[in-house]
Amino acid sequence: MNKKILILQSNYVPWRGYFEMIRQVDLFVVYDHVQYTKNDWRNRNQFIINGKPHWLTVPVTVKNLNQKIIDTQVPNNFWVKKHIKTLNQEYKKAPMYNSFADELNKIYGYFLQDKYLVDINRRLIMCICEYLNIKTEIIWEHKPDFSLNKNERLIDICKSFGGTTYVSGKNAQSYLDLAQFEQNKLEVEWFDYPDFIHYPQLNTIKYYPNMSVLDSILNIGKNIFEHET
In a domain, 164, yes or no: yes
Residue 139's identity, in one-letter code, is I
The DSSP bridge pattern shows strands 27-30 and 187-191 to be unpaired
Q: How does pLDDT run across 54-107, given as a tens digit for each residue?
A: 999 999 999 998 999 999 999 999 999 999 999 999 999 999 999 999 999 999
In a domain, 75, yes or no: yes
In a domain, 229, yes or no: no
How large is the average pLDDT for residues 11-30?
98
In a domain, 228, yes or no: no
How large is the average pLDDT for residues 104-112?
94
Q: Does position 228 have pLDDT exceeding 80, yes or no?
A: no
Range of the domain at 85: 4-223
Q: Does position 176 have pLDDT exceeding 90, yes or no?
A: yes
pLDDT grade for 145, boundaries at 50, 70 and 90: confident
Number of domains in the chain: 1
Q: How does pLDDT run across 159-169, given as a tens digit for each residue?
A: 999 999 999 99
